[in-house]
A and B are shown apart, each in its own frame.
Chain A
């Protein structure tokens, strides 16, 4: 298990909307209103079409799939306690987020596992999105 950090670097004009949504536990994805391209992290231009005046955010449904994962066995700083899972989570919009998979069994997490968003509070009122495994009933 990992303890969440209490502080995260300040947002800027490109990322403020994304972080403000976390205060309401909404996971948003930046989408271009012109070409429909979704991108992460948020930017001040669309990497699909190059426009700078058509970017908005839409609410994602909080689900995702593990695209790649690793169990960190030696923590890099005091905010984290090994072992814990660092993963790339692919959202339905196609964008990939780096995150943690919060679970009691880190070595059981696999590529392709369905996950759902969970929130860890930050000191300034923002929240850090992490993911938890979605347990599906065993088929027999």
Chain B
């Protein structure tokens, strides 16, 4: 392919007291500075959760009139989907430089609710909301229950995902849990139960934060200051809106999105040096590892315990930052690993990175493969 990521940055993270547009502006201006570009170069915008007309509102705030926008709302996987659409738009010549961004102030604004948001006109309001599931936690909890039942996996297998994430966060000064000290399996099991078998320690953080990446043609990227990160492949799959549509909760849309991305890139899981998998919950990582082909079904617990695959090197949504949608930060960390910018947590000689976003209740799945310019 002929499109590259040339800039990547976070906005302020944690508990900021700032507005969504203010955090978006931080992320975008920092990512453009990282790319050696300015707002005058940007003619494409992809974002969500700014307002009802998300890209429209953001473009006006930035003072630009883009030739291409995308506000596809698909939860946390939207940003991996945006990479595909942006690459296609750039290759087709509709636009030349795209910014993909997201930011939330959900911790400062206390805007997160345990039960989620049900729209009264949807089937879920009639057939699911009356039963009081936590949204999305109870769906992931049921998936975890099926996973443990089907494979005889242990509760400790889930907990190990959170333990591994904390180890990475202790290496990342920007992580919310950087100073929190190590986490043990017993800490996870002993944390407050939320929706069995998951405890609050199986669930991602609730923080402010966000990020932005900048994409342009590889030809142009080679003239910019930072080494280009190539878009090698992408794929996506959308499987369900309700809690009752998917027959087997242990088999996710990551099977299809991963297969499409690897085929497009001409790569296999064995080629991946570092993986950033959306860790909304510990179970999400186990299901995604298996669906993407990093191990056989039922074996993800062993893979995580072995630390055999460099995974969620930022500390992930579990211990680094989770601003409601984590997808763009998966891409930011993947880019930094491929550039060798990750300091104490740098994966040696990382040449191929995978970012996998998941949105809603295992509803949307999008996989992106990135590589260094060889």
Contact residues of A with B, CB < 8 Å? 2, 4-5, 8-12, 15, 19, 40-41, 67-77, 79-80, 84, 86-88, 95-100, 107, 111, 128, 130
Contact = CB atoms under 8 A, between A and B. Distances in A.
Nearest to B135: A76
Contacts of A67: 146
Interface stretch (B152-160, B241-249, B314-322): B241-249
A4 B131 CA distance: 8
Interface residues of B, number: 38
A111 B134 contact: no
Contacts of B134: 72, 74, 76
Given A74-B134, A76-B115, A98 B128 contact: yes
Contacts of B123: 15, 41
Contacts of A98: 127-128, 131, 133, 242-244
Nearest to A120: B130
Given A71-B195, A98-B127, 11 more contacts: A4-B130, A8-B129, A10-B120, A11-B126, A15-B126, A19-B126, A41-B126, A68-B145, A68-B146, A77-B132, A111-B145
A86 B132 contact: yes
B285 to A, nearest CB: 18
A88 B244 CA distance: 7
B111 interface: no
A72 B195 contact: yes
A73 B133 contact: no
Given A9-B125, A73-B196, A97-B244, A111 B146 contact: yes
A98 B113 CA distance: 20
Contact of B244 (A40, A79, A84): A40
Nearest to A107: B196
Q: Across the A-B interface, give the 5 residue pairs with the lowest CB-CB distance, nearest first.
A: A76-B115, A68-B142, A80-B132, A70-B141, A9-B125
A76 B141 CA distance: 15
Task: Name the residue in A9, A12, A79, A100 with the highest tally of chain B Cβ atoms < 10 Å from its Cβ.
Answer: A9
A15 B128 CA distance: 14
A72 B244 contact: no
B114 interface: yes
Nearest to A43: B123
B256 interface: no
Contact of B196 (A11, A12, A70, A111): A70
A111 B149 contact: yes
13 contacts: A2-B132, A40-B244, A41-B126, A68-B142, A68-B249, A70-B142, A71-B193, A75-B132, A86-B131, A95-B244, A98-B127, A98-B244, A130-B131
